[in-house]
Structure formats: C-alpha cells, structure tokens
Structure 1
Amino acid sequence: MLPQPLQAQVKLSAWITDWQWETGMTDWKQLGDGLEEIKLFAAYFNHEDELYLTSDFREALPAFLEASKEGEPARGVLTIVNDRFHTDGTAKQKDPELISRLVATPESRSQHIRQILDMASQHGFDGVELDYEKVRKEDGANLSALYEELYERLRAEGLSLRIVLEPGVSLSSLKLPEGPDYVLMAYNLYGGHSGPGPKADYAMIKELGGKLRQLPGDHAIALSVGGFDWAENGKAVSLTEKRAVELAHASPDEPKRDPDSGALYFEYTDDQGIGHTVWYADGTTLAGWMDAAGEAGISKIAIWRLGEMEADTLQKLSEIRQQSHHE
C-alpha cells in the first residue's frame, strides 16, 4: 500500500560531492530555493590523520559557497568522512582505526576539533557534518564525547553540527549527546553488496523513522537517488538517475514500478550479450519514500546526492516542499 502524503512541513537538504560537483551545482540551481541546507562532501584525511581536501573539492568550493549565499540562501555545511588517503593517492574508505586514534584521548579529540574549527571558519561554512562510519563498538563512548565536545565548540562560534548515522546503528549502546542534528541513512537495502532490488522500501523507511524518533530532537532521514545495475556475471555498478533512464531506453520493456518500494526496475542485454537488471528511484519513488518517513513522524529529508538527476525529479522535490509549506 502506498504511504499517505506528508502532513508536516518538509525540510530538504542535500549533498553535493567533490567528484560530481558541476552537475550537482546544476541540479541545485534547478531546485531553486528548495533546500534549507546544502552539504559539500567531503573533507577526508591524509596519511598523518590531518584533514585533507581533494583538488576537486578546492575547485568546487568557491562556486559552492557563492551559490549558498545567493537568492534564498541555504546553509553551507562541510561534510567530513573517515576516508584516509595514503601517500600514493590510494585511500582506505571508512577507516575504523583512524577514528580510534582521533577519539582516543581528550588531547587527541581536542586536536581534531581544532582542525575542524580551523577548516570550517577558514572557508566560511555555516556548519559541520561528521560522517564517521564502521566505527568500532569499543570507540563508541569516546566518539560520543567527541560529538559533545565538538558541538559545544561549534555552537560557541555560531556553527551547527550534524552527525550521519548508519542504518544499523544501535541507539541503546551508543549514548548520543543531545544538541547535534542527526541524519539516519535509509538506504543500502540492496546495492553493491547484494543481488538486485531497491535501495530502500516503505517498510525499511518507516522502521528507521521509528528508530530516529528515539532520539530527542527533530532529526532527518537520508534518501538515496539513482540506482544500481546488476550484471548477470555478478558485477553491480552504481548509477545516477540520468544514466538509469538512458539504459531504460535499451530495454525492450517499459520500467515497472515495485509496489513495496515505489522503485522502478527493468532488464536489458548489453553489447556483449550479458543480461542486466537495473533498479532506480525517480521523483515518484522519492515522493513515496518521503511520505513513508512522514508517516513515521520524520519531515526532515536529506538527499544523497545531487548530480545527473532528471528534471522531472527535481521539479517534484520542489513541488513537495512548496505544497508542504502552504498547507
């Protein structure tokens, strides 16, 4: 059964990534003043555990910050992720050992906080978001201490703090501080780690919405656009929405809509004769997911990520926000 339309006022935020910032900016401009907050993803770490910006990020930054101040301004937020770059340019993604070192002692946390504050103020961001994933259970208490200490320091400077939580986070064992905004990832139901299926479905979103309500405050659910292409030979590739639509034109059949998730799916055969299955989200999918979040009492929605979205989808997102603000 399709979820009922959202009643509460929808608050939209979105990420733009350093590797796809130009098409991300294009999508942002098409959304107009539909976003309350825009996050630039991401600052990483170098081999010495210091914050590190890619050349793509540095190129994107002036345009990003200028756009965030134009028209109906959106809060410009710096996202920091625990990917660690080695001297040869390769990276370890979502490095748990890095987090262990950063949060180990009051001194190490203080040093990390100082670096974060320096970077945020140097570049004129309005807030900071931490996306620290695959953290070891034994580091939970120290990580929560970092969140609390960083929140207080940022607040003193008039800056916000947002924390990204993975879908499997245990809120009972991780004692999260009050104050920061939290955003819970509601995707990865199916993906590169599995066989074909939607990134999320209504049941998952409602369940995670209920989980998020356990935290005091008004927090967000993150929804993922685009999709995946699974080849018969077992390889799965991430797709933007535009790429999925292009591939749909190679399919003999129209995409079908899955009743449990609202996602679209189709099959096609490539030039080598290999069969593929594609699942992806369009504007109708996102609207249904947002309604499912609304049924769970969540009206703050974060979109992962802008870049190569279809014009219809961007239009639908704008309309949903406008309708909810006029009700």
Structure 2
Amino acid sequence: MGGGGRERRTFVAGRRLAVLAILAIAAWLLLRPEGKEASQEKVPLGAPDIQPELSAWLADWHWEAGLEDLDRSADGLDSLQVFAAYFDESDRLKFTEDFAEGFPNIRKRMDQAAGVRLDLTLVNDIIREDGSESQKDPELTSRLLATEESRTRHIEEIAAAVEQYGFDGVELDYEKVKAGDWDKLISLIEELQKRLSELGKTLRVVLEPRAPLEKIQLPEGPTYVMMAYNLYGSHSGPGPKADDTFIAKLADRMERVPRPRHIALSAGGFDWTGVGDSRTESESTGKPVKGITERTAADLAKRNPSKPVRDPDSGVLHFEYADDEGVPHAVWYADGETLEHWAAEAREGDIQGIAIWRLGELGEDSTSRIASGLGIKEE
C-alpha cells in the first residue's frame, strides 16, 4: 500500500508538471512573434527611436507668396523642397527665370532658418523654347532611365546642380512612370543614392498612389513620400482632395516601402464650375475645374451667406456660390484644421513624416499650425 501511495503521488505530480508544461507552451505560442510581419512591428510616428519630420514644398512660379508663408511656418519645418528643376527638349535640366529671380531670396531666408534642410525637387516636365510644356512626361523618364550611360549622365548633372546651388538633398518627382520602367527607376534610385551619399547629400522619392508597390522592391536609403491627394479633382465631380479612408489605405500600402515613409498632403482645393456641391457627381463634368489656394477659397466663400460646411469623412470645408454671370460653383478646400486632421490620420499608420504641398496663400491658421508642428511633434 505504501508503494502504491508513492506511485499515485508521483503520477499526480507528473500530471501537474505536464499540465504546466502545456500551459507554458500555449502561452509562448500566443505571445511569440508571427514570422516576418511581427519582426516589422509598426512604430507610430513620434516613437522614441524615430523623429517625426514635417516638410513643405515651395514652387518657383509662386515663390513670393511661398516665402510669405515660409516666414510664418519655418519654426515647424525640418526641410523645404524647392520645386524648380525641369527639363529642356534635349533632356537636360532646366531652371526657369522664376527660379533665377526667386532662389537668392529663398536662400537668404533659409540661411536664417536654422536646422531646416533645403532640397531641390526634380519633376519630369519638359519646358520647350517656345514656352509650351509637356507635364509628367513618361517618354522623358524612359529616355533618362534607358541605359546605364543615360542614368550616369543624369546623375552627374543632378550632382552638379546640387553642388552649384548648395542644396542639402534631392527629391525625385517622376510621375506616370511606365510599367516597364520601374526596374530601371529602381536602378537610378540606388545609383543616385550612392552618388549623393558621397557628397553628403540626401535623397527623397515621391510616389503616386498608382505606383505598383505590391510588385516592386524599392531600395533602402532614401525617404519615400506618398502623394495622398487628388482623390477628387479635375478628373471628377466635387469632393475632397483626400478623405480619412484614402489616407489610411495609402499609409497601409506604404508598409511595403523601406523607412523613412512620409505622407504628402495638399493644401487648397478645387472650384467646379456649373455643378452643385454634391459628391454623387463622381465623373468629370466636362466643365472647367480650377485648382485654388486656401486664401482664394476663403475669399470665394464670402459670396455665400452660409458658412462653409466641414465634411465629417475628410475634415474638408465645402460650399456653393454663384459667379458674376449667375453660374453655380462648388468649392471643396482644406484649411489648417483639415491639414492637422489628415496628419493625425496618417499617424495611425507606420508613417515617419508629413509633407505639405505647398506654401503660398495659406491661411494664417494653417501657417500657425505648421509652425507648431501640425500636431506631429511634441510641444
């Protein structure tokens, strides 16, 4: 009997140990990292190991108004992108008379803005001798990327321009890239990143929502900026440039891109002619649609005795008015509250920075919010 009791106690103790072992294994299975996805946990904007960045563009054709906004917002900016490098008919970099006139003033202001980096933005627009333009030209991009020789020539021209004007970095804004050119564009990004690093310069790359992020592997090193705007615009009926769902989807897609990842938000809005203020008109009306600044939109709003209404799905203001001929118009535009709301939506994803298109005729509240960090930085 004594031996049977020891056996029973041994059996019970063994069973308890087995149960504890099973519970321990179950707990480990529940808490263990889930493969590759868990190894790339989201790091929210403002996490201790990532410094959130706020940047803005200043366009050469609107440099005076842009500088006025810069004076009021520079305290919150980490970098300024000068949208100013185009191409001539020989596929060489071209700078406009506006740039020649405005850049010395921009440089003077930036010398006073301690800690704000200055980048040169290149866009695949052709400006011909006769003044005509071909904007976002995919054929131009194909020629620049065609061979190792053409890419090297392009890279050296970029490097020379950056050194000549004293920029801290370069931004590529090559849009409408052909499906067959992405591998070559990736090669250009890798090669340009290496060349700029040798010069102590940085690289940013702008991505359109149409970019095939699910099919390509972008290289590490540059900052990648996703354009989160023009959900509605000249191609559609009235509506916001972006809404919460649109921003969230793009932020999720950016998880396929190496960090740092930024989201670009657009100030201002659009004025649709001859239509009511309704998002149900999702197709283009065929009637004039004009991009407008925030300040212009606010002035137009005075034609309507009712205050603009804020759309709950996007934070965008909208209203109707009639022009001098009695033609109805619909306006949707972003103000400072909208921009800060959009930035907060982007922060829900693994996004390390916000970029604002663009300085020039922003409202006072917008520049004040930008100067304070647009809600993405600690006070």
TM over 0.5: yes
In structure 2, which of residues 158, 169, 174 is the aligned counterpart of residue 116 of structure 1?
158
Is the contact between residue 80 and residue 117 of structure 2 (CA under 8 Å) also seen in structure 1? Answer: yes
2:356 matched to 1:303?
yes
2:64 matched to 1:11?
no
Indicate the residue corresponding to 2:144 in structure 1.
102
Whole-angstrom distance in 1 between the partners of 2:340 and 2:77: 16
Q: How much has 1:321 moved relative to structure 2?
A: 4.6
Is the contact between residue 164 and residue 184 of structure 1 (CA under 8 Å) also seen in structure 2? Answer: yes
* Structure with bigger RCO (C-alpha 8 Å, 6+ apart): 1
Is the contact between residue 160 and residue 180 of structure 1 (CA under 8 Å) also seen in structure 2? Answer: yes
In structure 2, which of residues 240, 247, 250 is the aligned counterpart of residue 208 of structure 1?
250
2:241 matched to 1:188?
no
Whole-angstrom distance in 2 between the partners of 1:157 and 1:48: 26
Is the contact between residue 10 and residue 321 of structure 1 (CA under 8 Å) also seen in structure 2? Answer: no
In structure 2, which of residues 96, 109, 116 is the aligned counterpart of residue 54 of structure 1?
96
Whole-angstrom distance in 2 between the partners of 1:323 and 1:90: 40
1:143-154 → structure 2 map (5 Å cutoff): 143-154=185-196
TM-score by length of 2: 0.82
Change (3 A) 1:257 1:6: farther
Q: How much has 1:70 moved relative to structure 2?
A: 1.4
Indicate the residue corresponding to 2:211 in structure 1.
169
Q: How much has 1:320 moved relative to structure 2?
A: 4.0
Indicate the residue corresponding to 2:314 in structure 1.
261
Q: How much has 1:294 moved relative to structure 2?
A: 0.6
Whole-angstrom distance in 2 between the partners of 1:89 and 1:323: 41
2:324 matched to 1:324?
no
Structure 1 counterpart SS, 2:326: coil
Specify the code of the residue in structure 1 equivalent to 2:368.
Answer: Q
Name the larger-Rg structure.
2
Is the contact between residue 33 and residue 73 of structure 1 (CA under 8 Å) also seen in structure 2? Answer: no
Whole-angstrom distance in 2 between the partners of 1:278 and 1:262: 14
Indicate the residue corresponding to 1:142 in structure 2.
184
Whole-angstrom distance in 1 between the partners of 2:68 and 2:272: 28
Report the number of matched residues. 322
Change (3 A) 1:245 1:6: farther
1:218-257 → structure 2 map (5 Å cutoff): 218-232=260-274, 234-257=287-310
Is the contact between residue 336 and residue 369 of structure 2 (CA under 8 Å) also seen in structure 1? Answer: yes
Specify the code of the residue in structure 1 equivalent to 2:179.
Answer: K
In structure 2, which of residues 318, 321, 328 is the aligned counterpart of residue 275 of structure 1?
328
- Considering only aligned residues, what root-mean-square deviation do their CA atoms show, in Å? 1.5
Q: How much has 1:256 moved relative to structure 2?
A: 0.2
Is the contact between residue 46 and residue 376 of structure 2 (CA under 8 Å) also seen in structure 1? Answer: no
* Structure 1, unpaired ranges of 5+: none
Q: How much has 1:66 moved relative to structure 2?
A: 2.2
Is the contact between residue 38 and residue 75 of structure 1 (CA under 8 Å) also seen in structure 2? Answer: yes
Whole-angstrom distance in 1 between the partners of 2:221 and 2:172: 14
Is the contact between residue 78 and residue 129 of structure 1 (CA under 8 Å) also seen in structure 2? Answer: yes
Q: After the TM superposition, which parts of structure 1 deviate over 6 Å for at least 4 consecutive aligned residues? A: none
Specify the code of the residue in structure 2 equivalent to 1:85.
Answer: I
Q: How much has 1:166 moved relative to structure 2?
A: 0.2
Q: How much has 1:322 moved relative to structure 2?
A: 7.1
Q: How much has 1:69 moved relative to structure 2?
A: 2.2
Structure 1 counterpart SS, 2:100: helix
Whole-angstrom distance in 1 between the partners of 2:103 and 2:145: 28
Is the contact between residue 252 and residue 268 of structure 1 (CA under 8 Å) also seen in structure 2? Answer: no
Change (3 A) 1:323 1:302: closer
Q: How much has 1:248 moved relative to structure 2?
A: 0.2
Whole-angstrom distance in 2 between the partners of 1:254 and 1:169: 38
Whole-angstrom distance in 1 between the partners of 2:262 and 2:315: 20
Indicate the residue corresponding to 2:14 in structure 1.
none
> Residues 26-69 of structure 1, C-alpha deviation per residue, up to 9 Å, x if partnerless?
10110132110001002000000000000001111111122222
In structure 2, which of residues 125, 128, 131 is the aligned counterpart of residue 89 of structure 1?
131
Is the contact between residue 223 and residue 301 of structure 1 (CA under 8 Å) also seen in structure 2? Answer: yes
* Structure 2, unpaired ranges of 5+: 1-43, 276-286
Change (3 A) 1:52 1:270: same
Q: How much has 1:206 moved relative to structure 2?
A: 0.8
Q: How much has 1:175 moved relative to structure 2?
A: 2.6
